[in-house]
Structure 1
Amino acid sequence: MKLLLVGLCTVDVVQRVTELPAPGEKVQSLQVDVAAGGPATNAAVTAAALGAEATLVTVLGAHPLAALARADLEAHGVRVVDLAPSRSEPPPVSAVAVRDRDGERTVVSRNAAGSEATWDGAVEADAVLLDGHHPNLALAVAKAANAAGVPVVLDAGSWKPVLDELLPLVDVAACSAHFTAPEPGLHQRGVPTVITTAGPGPVRWSTADGSSGEVPVPAVEARDTLGAGDVWHGALAVAVARGPSVTDRIRFANEVAAERVRFVGPRSWTTAIAGRDKT
């Protein structure tokens, strides 16, 4: 199974702390990790851990920090297609603090402002996941995927201007609880399946033909919620490629994300989901 995951790649500096610091406060961390991050990137790591051939299309460049992200991805089985390999600017960096007792986190990030990366090739994959952080790239890949009959999954964390053009090309829009879109609604914009996550709450879904429902999330003790939504989206993309029903896809993604939050650190969970197949 081949998955193409398209979007943001950051360098995450993750500090685990007893309590999240108040403004002006300095605290000592319990643990420090450096890893590649970003919605499409964490989804790619998830897909690779689940046994897919995962290719991440992104913008990294030649800055020394980019080498850290690239090495992390290669170590976890993700093939990287860097559309700006000679770029000298540092990649986006995220500063993350994770509270030890419950896995709650704060994130400060730059993201991919001003990116002009695009795509002029074909799409040869069983499913595509887009996070929309490189707008021209997302549009070009979505059009190529549509032409090839490849399903497109959108990680819709927040509204982005590109979504006006992108949504009609999307087969599954997987939205966060905080996602809001201007009228018309996503089904009216041409999206066949809309899914909305709510952290530990049930995941709701609806289809353009009027069907709807919700799928409960397994109850687990959360140790680290960093990237859990990205992991959920990566598992969903794997399930879409495998082709089960919408409820089975969501159930699989819920189970994988529940495994992720049980483990401390940005990559320790990958061995727990390796080869998992419950779709």
Structure 2
Amino acid sequence: MPLDVLCVGAVTVDTIAVVDRAPGPDGRVVATPFTVAGGGPAATAAVTLARLGVPVGFCGVVGDDAEGALSRALLEKAGVDTTWLVTRPGVRTTQSMIVVSREQGTRMIVTTPSPPPPPVPAGVARWLHLDQTGYPAAREHTGAKISLDGGNPVSGLDVTGLDLYAPAVGGLADAFPAATLAESMRAAAAAGAREVVATAGAEGSYVLVDGEVHHVPPITVESPVSTMGAGDVFHGALLAGLVQGRSLVDAARRANAVAALSCRALDGRTGIPDADETERFLSTVDPGVSV
């Protein structure tokens, strides 16, 4: 039986430092003890899908180093099939350094390049979910529906035939310039994207249905710790909803909730809820209401 989803793209090992205030040039600050966690847009989406009960695998490349072994172990612990995660001698596993500022409420990310994933085999999954690293390797893949996380710039973007195109609002405006968000979303659909969802961070998300744009309000949690990886979590949860037969609006609402709950932890994965917790959470709140 094929998987429901194969996520293709970047997997990273993140080192996260929390400081009171980000240092300036030549500055020095003292951080809390560093946190080491798994990351990467496609990899974190895969963890989210697994947490929500969707059979999922990951396709990408790590090095034959300690970080590569950790990346694989973290994915497998989360229930992600790593059959298509290749360990390549001589390659350095992608690493990121993240500095989170309490006072400024911001983060700075320094990352190393991600190696391109191996060719994606046919017939493995009903859906392929791609990030900016996975897009070149799997864009022309046939026989599976294609979901694209447009949260980061995608080189050579062509949305023709994409079953789900989900950029950030800013990225959408860059790719499809228009006077309004609604016009940009309609332009993406006219260019060939079958479903278009735009993410807006703390403002929630926007969904295009039959040419009309619907705002899906945010769902917030008290005392969030970090938004690290929340966009990647949203993309995984959005696709989980579609795989499970939900409408696009309902899938986006649930994705807003799952992404909000993930902000309870410093890293992008620890706070991701499972399906049962998501249902309990949604039963107690209205969209946009803080609990």
Distance 1:233 1:102, change over 3 A: farther
Q: How far apart, in 1, do the equivalents of 2:195 and 2:260 lie?
A: 23
TM-superposition CA deviations, 1:217-258 (whole Å, max 9, x none) = 013332111101001111011001012111101100001011
1:74 maps to 76
The reply to whether residue 159 of structure 1 matches residue 153 of structure 2 is yes
Partner of residue 45 from structure 1, selected from 41, 44, 47? 47
Which stretch shifts more, 28-37 or 178-187?
Answer: 178-187
2:202 maps to 200
The reply to whether residue 264 of structure 1 matches residue 263 of structure 2 is no
Q: How far apart, in 2, do the equivalents of 1:225 and 1:59 lie?
A: 26
Q: How far apart, in 1, do the equivalents of 2:199 and 2:43 lie?
A: 19
Distance 1:277 1:223, change over 3 A: closer
2:120 maps to 119
2:219 maps to 218
Distance 1:160 1:267, change over 3 A: closer
- 2:98 is paired with a residue of what secondary structure? strand
| TM-aligned CA deviation for residue 20 of structure 1 | 2.0
Distance 1:81 1:168, change over 3 A: farther
2:143 maps to 144
TM-superposition CA deviations, 1:182-239 (whole Å, max 9, x none) = 57931122112211111110311214x4122111001333211110100111101100
Distance 1:75 1:103, change over 3 A: farther
What's the Cα RMSD here?
A: 2.4
- 1:187 is paired with a residue of what secondary structure? helix
Q: How far apart, in 2, do the equivalents of 1:77 and 1:83 lie?
A: 14
Alignment of 1:13-52 (within 5 A): 13-52=15-54
Q: Which amino acid letter does the alignment assign opposite residue 128 of structure 2?
A: V
Q: How far apart, in 1, do the equivalents of 2:252 and 2:188 lie?
A: 18
TM-score in terms of structure 2 length: 0.83
Identity of aligned residues (%): 31
Q: 2:5 touches 2:55 (CA, 8 Å); kept in 1?
A: yes
Q: 2:100 touches 2:107 (CA, 8 Å); kept in 1?
A: yes
Distance 1:216 1:5, change over 3 A: same
| TM-aligned CA deviation for residue 117 of structure 1 | 2.9
Q: Which runs of 5+ in 1 are unaligned?
A: 146-150
| TM-aligned CA deviation for residue 132 of structure 1 | 3.0
Provide the aligned length of Structure 1 versus Structure 2: 267
- 1:31 is paired with a residue of what secondary structure? coil
| TM-aligned CA deviation for residue 274 of structure 1 | 5.0
| TM-aligned CA deviation for residue 4 of structure 1 | 1.5
- 2:88 is paired with a residue of what secondary structure? coil
TM-superposition CA deviations, 1:98-130 (whole Å, max 9, x none) = 2246763211112326x37322322333x3311
Q: 1:43 touches 1:230 (CA, 8 Å); kept in 2?
A: yes
- 2:225 is paired with a residue of what secondary structure? coil
Q: How far apart, in 2, do the equivalents of 1:84 and 1:262 lie?
A: 31
2:100 maps to 98
Distance 1:182 1:216, change over 3 A: closer
1:175 maps to 167
Q: How far apart, in 2, do the equivalents of 1:195 and 1:57 lie?
A: 24
2:230 maps to 228
Q: 2:10 touches 2:41 (CA, 8 Å); kept in 1?
A: yes
- 1:94 is paired with a residue of what secondary structure? strand
TM-score in terms of structure 1 length: 0.86
Q: Which amino acid letter does the alignment assign opposite residue 143 of structure 1?
A: T
Q: 2:229 touches 2:269 (CA, 8 Å); kept in 1?
A: no
Distance 1:8 1:244, change over 3 A: same
Q: Which amino acid letter does the alignment assign opposite residue 130 of structure 1?
A: L
